[in-house]
Amino acid sequence: MAAIANLTVKKADGTTDIVYTAVQPASGDNGQAVWRQENAAVPFGVRPTLKMNTRDNGNAAARKIHLEFGRPSTYTDTTTGLVKQSFVLLGSADFLLNKEAMDADIAEAVHQFTNLLVNTALRDSIKAGIAPT
């Protein structure tokens, strides 16, 4: 089992690192691990977060993994000077790992799926909000 740790990814510019700080480890099965992009210039409640929980499926034949990402879109209220949230951009992924699957098959499926998410054509379609035609 992996221990929670900070996660580092690249911004859209492909150069700048963004760190998602490990702020809450999962308390156990179906508990939620939370990472947050810490930035003192942005209020606590409107910082980007990644959440993850894992549990058995209904008949315990597989493990369910759920990831949820939220990146608030913020603005500064000119009247109060406070940073406020106008909406949240969301992303999620669900994995179902059959307990009878071989480690190599699981590894290959996870690597291929997560690598597809960083494919340029797929990223461009997601950003446009339109599936390729």
Cβ neighbours of residue 6 closer than 8 Å, sequence gap 6 or more: 19, 20, 21, 22, 35
Rounded to two decimals, the pTM is 0.88
Cβ neighbours of residue 36 closer than 8 Å, sequence gap 6 or more: 20, 21, 23, 47, 48, 49, 50
Q: Which fold has domain 7-100?
A: MS2 Viral Coat Protein (3.30.380)
The domain spans of the chain are 7-100, 102-133
As a whole number, mean pLDDT of residues 9-30 equals 94
Alpha-carbon separation of residue 115 from 10, 38, 50, 111 (angstroms): 14, 26, 18, 6
pLDDT in tens, 39-98: 877 888 899 999 999 999 999 999 999 999 999 998 999 999 888 889 999 999 999 999
Among all chains, which residue has been given the structure tokens 């999962």?
26
Rg (CA), the chain: 18
As a whole number, mean pLDDT of residues 4-28 equals 95
User: What is the model's pLDDT at position 1?
Assistant: 67
